[in-house]
């Protein structure tokens, strides 16, 4: 029996000096960043955490309590909500990992903290186990989050520290956690307005999911840092002087955009880093608040446009129309010296803190922050709506609906009366109609955008005025699901479609029961399903749906059943299984392929294949994916399909390493760009075939206005061989770029 009072008093608890110092540093941060702090409450939480983890150590050798201390520090510095959240951060692992019970937490700290710890424990269990589907994981996350907003706040801090210390885990776990972070936690952090935290999560994820691109970007930024800082200083100087002369109190500085946003820009524009120019922005933070602060932002904008030529289409007013997560700022892009585009953000100090720390900072500026239960409920309404929404009937639907709530790019749409609605980029009139009201969406037959009729699939733009035309006779069209993007529209269309489908299935079942009885058939549902499968129906529901909808004649199926019943059973179930096993063993034999270390053991008798989406070669960091056919497909860790495979099919991921076998060739592809000059193709083939003794599988070249692009498919031995090729090709006169590239292919 654990004595609560003894632990809390800590009379026999000797805390190592370094952790006592860390606690005092944490308390000092609480005094700076929190509106109020109960220091004794936090000290008690630390004592329990220290005692509970007293025998646990991290891989580095330090006590495990270093982790909850680090999580609490992140919570205070980057979220800064309240001291209850700090205590929760210190105790977030104790119920799951130690002998401390939830009842102990309830007795020692009260019901509110116990509820948060319970939510964190359930959430942690959802993401550690492999026994539940991804949809169940997300549903548990949302249930925990809906109970108390601090649950997700502490989880953000916990996930950031885990990402900061991810290098100690095996590669396949690194990839799973990084993919989960990038696809779920980073967008969710954005939804709550934690911009700084979101950027860190994205950048850390990029380092593990696309390590080559991460290294390219970080190296490129480091190499260009001096030139970039010089340009920023030259741009800022006249602007700073003018603003000081006009009496503004402000901070102005340049900052590089986060690595992941640069990576996305490179992929979207299909350009190397050196051809991406808008990789930094200038930020101006004004001291004025309230109406005067907003007015000052516009005055500063006027000064900027006096000094530099603005690009009108790149102007965004998020002050008058804030983003859904509370973000406010003026964004403009101007032409700076040397004709370079420079993005400038203008905001007040309060707007800046909300932009960096999200809703927590928003409440900091309001009276009675701890009493803002109604605002907390409003913030989590979208979570509860989705949990209570009966339309997300499948795992895939549920996860997709959840992610649709996390969109980070928004447009603003107006009704003819001037009412404002926020929608995600890519939204259509049907999305808008359902946002206005479910009945408006369901009875929508047409739309006018800015006074002109448009198709219902028309993609809306920010600032559009939209008028929806309805008819009581109209019902949702199942084809709408192909172009709508909001969760509400998808769920309502899916609900109507599923309802009509169920009605057709019931009607089809009734038809079958009546006709089969009349024909004197006696057959179980299991046997019925076998016949349906032979006729290419995926299941009985589809069969009865098509019968009930008039798409398939029930009499035809009766004939098929009668024919199947007359057939003699020629193979037992055991024979079928034996044949399947023998077929698998035959397919597992390989010849002429290098042995691989699979789960730490050498295998040359297991069927392997090299994924065409990333063409791995010895030297690449790789993992294995067990396909449905039993073949292990080898992917590069940087493969564009890796995050999806690792995140959604983790049970099929296998640890794989290259063996030392030599004299085996692999396919690699390069993209080459340069000047279109006479003899360039001959120089390429000379270097590849003769100088480096490399076999060429294919070359495709295209030219346009004096520039050429070529794709080379080559046979190489390993990554070192490929790197030598790239280095040598780069030295050919007129070659401007050589990049390894991948095809787009989805795994099955």
Q: Which residues are catalytic?
A: 96-97
Token couple for 586: 């035959």
Say how far residue 409 (Cα) sits from the centre of its chain: 14
Question: What residues contact 48, with CB distance under 8 A and at least 6 apart?
Answer: 7, 8, 90, 91, 94, 100, 108
Cα separation of 350 and 318, whole Å? 14
CA atoms 510, 511, 516, 517: torsion sign: positive
Say how far residue 478 (Cα) sits from the centre of its chain: 28
Three-state DSSP class for 641? coil
Question: What residues contact 486, with CB distance under 8 A and at least 6 apart?
Answer: 404, 423, 424, 427, 431, 434, 435
Cα separation of 157 and 117, whole Å? 14
Specify the DSSP element, H or E, that contains 673. Answer: strand 666-675
> Any idea which residue has 């295209």 for tokens?
702
Gap between the terminal Cα atoms of the chain: 52
The answer to whether 556 and 620 have CB atoms below 8 angstroms apart is no
> Left (φ > 0), alpha (ψ -120 to 50) or beta: where does 342 sit?
beta
Token couple for 505: 């299935």
DSSP string for residues in 141-209: HHHHHHH-HHHHHHHHHHHHHHHHTGGGS-HHHHHHHHHHIIIIIHHHHHHTT-HHHHHHHHHHHHHHH
Token couple for 514: 């009546």
Q: What are phi and psi of 256, to 5 degrees?
A: -75, 145
The answer to whether 591 and 554 have CB atoms below 8 angstroms apart is no
Q: What pairing do the DSSP bridges indicate for beta strands 696-704 and 632-636?
A: unpaired
Q: What are phi and psi of 535, to 5 degrees?
A: -90, 10
Cα separation of 56 and 64, whole Å? 5
**Which of 362, 234, 292, 275 is closest to 707 using CA atoms?**
275
The answer to whether 714 and 696 have CB atoms below 8 angstroms apart is yes
As a dihedral over the C-alpha atoms of residue 588, residue 590, residue 596, residue 601, rounded to 10 degrees, the angle is: 50
Cα separation of 355 and 358, whole Å? 6
- Locate all alpha helices (DSSP H) within 339-416, ordered by sequence: 349-364, 373-379, 381-388, 395-404
> Beta-carbon neighbour count of residue 582 at 10 Å?
10
Specify the DSSP element, H or E, that contains 622. Answer: strand 622-626
> Any idea which residue has 């597992």 for tokens?
588
Cα separation of 679 and 677, whole Å? 6
How does DSSP classify residue 15? -
How does DSSP classify residue 218? H
Question: What residues contact 484, with CB distance under 8 A and at least 6 apart?
Answer: 427, 428, 430, 431, 434, 490, 493
**Which of 365, 377, 359 is closest to 194 using CA atoms?**
359
Token couple for 602: 């050498």
> Any idea which residue has 């709550």 for tokens?
192
Cα separation of 712 and 723, whole Å? 14
Cα separation of 586 and 591, whole Å? 12
Three-state DSSP class for 248? coil
Cα separation of 487 and 431, whole Å? 9
């Amino acid at each position: 029996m654990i004595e609560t009072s003894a632990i809390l008093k800590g009379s026999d608890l000797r805390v190592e000096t370094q952790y006592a110092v860390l606690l005092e540093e944490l308390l000092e941060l609480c005094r700076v960043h929190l509106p109020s702090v109960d220091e004794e409450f936090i000290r008690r939480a630390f004592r329990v955490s220290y005692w509970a983890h007293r025998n646990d150590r991290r891989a580095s050798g330090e006590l495990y309590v270093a982790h909850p201390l680090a999580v609490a520090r992140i919570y205070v510095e980057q979220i800064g909500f309240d001291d209850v959240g700090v205590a929760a951060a210190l105790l977030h692992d104790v119920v799951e990992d130690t002998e401390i019970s939830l009842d102990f937490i309830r007795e020692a700290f009260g019901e509110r903290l116990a509820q948060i710890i319970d939510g964190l424990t359930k959430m942690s269990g959802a993401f550690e186990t492999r026994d539940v589907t991804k949809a169940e994981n997300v549903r548990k996350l949302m249930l925990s989050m809906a109970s108390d907003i601090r649950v997700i706040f502490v989880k953000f801090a916990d996930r950031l520290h885990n990402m900061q210390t991810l290098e100690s885990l095996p590669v396949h776990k690194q990839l799973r956690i990084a993919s989960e972070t990038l696809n779920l936690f980073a967008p969710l952090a954005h939804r709550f307005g934690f911009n700084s935290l979101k950027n860190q999560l994205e950048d850390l994820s990029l380092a593990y999911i696309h390590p080559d691109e991460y290294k390219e970007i970080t190296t490129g930024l480091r190499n260009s840092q001096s030139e970039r800082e010089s340009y920023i200083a030259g741009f800022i100087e006249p602007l700073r002087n003018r603003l000081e002369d006009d009496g503004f109190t402000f901070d102005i500085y340049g900052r590089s955009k986060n690595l992941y946003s640069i990576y996305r820009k490179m992929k979207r524009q299909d350009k190397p880093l050196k051809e991406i120019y808008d990789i930094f922005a200038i930020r101006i933070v004004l001291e004025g608040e309230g109406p005067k602060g907003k007015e000052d932002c516009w005055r500063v904008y006027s000064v900027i446009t006096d000094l530099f030529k603005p690009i009108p289409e790149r102007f965004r007013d998020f002050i008058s129309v804030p983003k859904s997560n509370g973000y406010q700022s003026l964004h403009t892009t101007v032409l700076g010296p040397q004709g370079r585009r420079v993005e400038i953000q203008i905001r007040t100090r309060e707007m800046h803190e909300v932009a960096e720390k999200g809703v927590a900072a928003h409440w900091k500026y309001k009276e009675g922050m701890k009493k803002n239960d109604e605002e907390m409920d409003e913030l989590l309404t979208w979570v509860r709506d989705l949990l209570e929404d009966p339309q997300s009937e499948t795992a895939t639907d549920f996860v997709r609906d959840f992610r649709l709530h996390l969109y980070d790019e928004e447009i603003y749409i107006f009704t003819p009366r001037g009412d404002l609605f926020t929608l995600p980029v890519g939204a259509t009139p049907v999305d808008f109609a359902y946002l206005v009201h479910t009945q408006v969406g369901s009875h929508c037959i047409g739309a006018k955008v800015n006074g002109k009729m448009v198709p219902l699939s028309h993609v809306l733009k920010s600032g559009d005025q939209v008028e929806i035309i309805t008819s009581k006779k109209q019902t949702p069209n199942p084809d709408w699901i192909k172009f709508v993007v909001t969760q509400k529209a998808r769920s309502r269309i899916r609900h109507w479609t599923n309802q009509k489908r169920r009605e057709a299935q019931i009607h089809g079942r009734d038809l079958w029961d009546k006709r089969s009885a009349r024909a004197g058939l006696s057959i179980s549902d299991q046997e019925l399903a076998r016949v349906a499968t032979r006729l290419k129906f995926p299941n009985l529901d589809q069969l009865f749906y098509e019968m009930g909808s008039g798409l398939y004649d029930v009499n035809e199926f009766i004939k098929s059943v009668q024919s199947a019943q007359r057939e003699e059973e020629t193979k037992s179930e055991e024979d079928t299984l034996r044949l399947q096993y023998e077929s698998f063993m035959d397919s597992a034999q390989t010849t002429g392929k290098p042995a691989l270390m699979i789960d730490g053991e050498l295998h040359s008798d297991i069927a392997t294949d090299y994924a065409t989406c990333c063409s791995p070669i010895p030297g690449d960091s790789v993992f294995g994916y067990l396909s449905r056919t039993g073949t292990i497909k080898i992917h590069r860790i940087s493969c564009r399909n890796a995050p999806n495979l690792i995140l959604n099919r983790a049970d099929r991921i296998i640890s794989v390493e290259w063996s030392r076998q030599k004299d085996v060739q692999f396919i690699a592809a390069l993209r080459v760009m340069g000047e279109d000059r006479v003899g360039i193709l001959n120089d390429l083939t000379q270097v590849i075939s003769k100088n480096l003794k490399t076999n060429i599988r294919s070359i495709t070249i295209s030219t346009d206005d004096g520039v050429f692009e070529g794709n080379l498919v080559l046979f190489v031995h390993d990554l070192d061989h490929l790197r030598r090729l790239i280095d040598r090709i780069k030295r050919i006169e007129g070659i401007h770029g050589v990049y390894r590239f991948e095809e787009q292919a989805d795994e099955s």
